[in-house]
Amino acid sequence: MDAAAPTAVSFDEASLSQLAATADRATRRNLIVSLRRMADSLEDTTGTIHRFAHLDLERAMIQIGYDLNIFKILVDADGVKTAEELAKDTGADTELIKRIMRYYNTINVAREAGPYKYVATNTTKNLISDVCKAAMGHFWDLVSKEYQALPEFLKKNGYRNPTDETDTALMMGWDTKKPPFQIMLDVPNAMEDFHQYMALRRDVTLSWLSVYPVRDVTAGLTDPDRPLYVNVGGGIGHQCAEFRAQYPNIPGRVINQDLPDTVERGIQAEGVEHMAHDFFQPQPVKGAKIYFMRGVPHDHPPHKVRVLFQQIAAAMAPDSVLLVDETVLPATGVSHIAACVDLTMMGIAAMERTEAEWRALAESAGLELVRLYTYNALDNETVMEMRLAGAKSSL
């Protein structure tokens, strides 16, 4: 029986693809999860070995594709490229190109269109997007050393949940005691890749601005000198620019705060001020209507988030709101992406959090978590409105 020819199993791939292409994000994501689950359930030992054993190889080969510009060349060709043509365009040996491309065919990064002929796929197209390039650079150049160090780090610390930001897997991987944003300064392109990734990683339509009642909360404001929106740890100021573009007529100052090296790279947008500020120090902008943070507390362990919240709480007026835009983890069924981000944060002694954990952190700093507005249910992305404990909501 072993020698029997394998039975070809076929199903209607074309109609499934068509259905998937026109489905909404949630349906497509669910389909991917179901298909992967089914594929894994069919796997034998050999399959499991080679699926996990070559994960590092997969990432290395993507990096080589970027270095040789293969993905862009394939997409721009808008048709078939031969191995010889790719070799000529990239300056690599034809034989090397053939070896790389036959591997890409197996991971859908390109598809064979005949012997030594290739076309772009959906994945090739995704890979050439600016956000994908910046993210891949960030994870390859900076984070990969943290992943390598994580097993040794956890063994060394006795498998305690990491909460000490002065002793982390990222530090072990880089053999340094510098904090993450200092390490980035030492790695070529790391700051640029990181801030590009942060600025581009979310579709503008999938943002707090799509769900939060900005007009209601700011109704009645008339003072052009009162700070209206302060983005704390706002990176290069992309969210301030989006806010001002969407609400050009609400009176008040729009201020982007970050570390000096980041503010130096700040984008210039009309009506947006940049300010260097360390958010663990007293907040210099007092009485703003909206203090805002996205993806900031998740970079820090609980005792540091408490300080961060306390510094903002001390600057808030009774009618101020603090909006914390973060992942809010459900008790079960956390998405693959959120689980990966959580473990990546573990490498800097930080974490993703549940609603109960956010609520407790707010309370520990004299704040009250008043309401949650989820704008991306698929990835549990939510903006949490916090107010000074006892302050009345204006809504």
Q: Which residues bind ligand SAM (CB under 6 A)?
A: 181, 198, 233-235, 258-259, 262, 278-280, 294-296, 299
Are 217 and 373 contacting, i.e. CB atoms less than 8 angstroms apart?
no
Residues 200, 204: Cα–Cα separation, whole Å = 9
Are 362 and 368 contacting, i.e. CB atoms less than 8 angstroms apart?
yes
Query: Nearer Cβ to ligand SAM, position 31 or 131?
Result: 131
Are 227 and 288 contacting, i.e. CB atoms less than 8 angstroms apart?
yes
Give least dist CB 167 to ligand SAM, A.
18
Give least dist CB 291 to ligand SAM, A.
12
Query: Nearer Cβ to ligand SAM, position 99 or 178?
Result: 178
Query: Nearer Cβ to ligand SAM, position 103 or 373?
Result: 373
Active-site positions read 298
Torsion angle in degrees (nearest 10) through CA of 92, 96, 99, 103: -40
Q: Is 322 left (phi over 0), alpha (psi -120 to 50) or beta?
A: beta
Query: Nearer Cβ to ligand SAM, position 334 or 383?
Result: 383
Residues 160, 140: Cα–Cα separation, whole Å = 27
Query: Nearer Cβ to ligand SAM, position 162 or 233?
Result: 233
Question: What tokens does 157 get?
Answer: 């610390």
387 - beta bridge partners? 368
Q: Which ranges of the chain does DSSP label H, i.e. alpha helix?
A: 13-22, 25-41, 45-53, 55-68, 70-77, 83-90, 94-106, 122-127, 130-138, 144-156, 169-174, 180-186, 190-200, 214-218, 238-246, 260-263, 302-315, 336-346, 355-364
Give least dist CB 259 to ligand SAM, A.
5
Query: Nearer Cβ to ligand SAM, position 43 or 278?
Result: 278
Cα torsion 185, 191, 194, 199: sign? positive
Are 253 and 226 contacting, i.e. CB atoms less than 8 angstroms apart?
yes
Query: Nearer Cβ to ligand SAM, position 119 or 259?
Result: 259
Angle of helix 355-364 relative to helix 302-315, nearest 10 degrees? 60
Question: What tokens does 305 get?
Answer: 């988030």
Place of tokens 């904090």: 179
**How far apart, in Å, are the Cα atoms of 8 and each of 3, 5, 11, 258?**
15, 9, 10, 58
Give least dist CB 278 to ligand SAM, A.
4
Query: Nearer Cβ to ligand SAM, position 198 or 383?
Result: 198
Instruction: State the DSSP code for 168.
Output: -
Question: What tokens does 133 get?
Answer: 């390039």
Q: Which ranges of 250-330 does DSSP label H, i.e. alpha helix?
A: 260-263, 302-315
Q: Which of 124, 70, 77 is nearest to 99 (CA)?
A: 70
Give least dist CB 231 to ligand SAM, A.
7
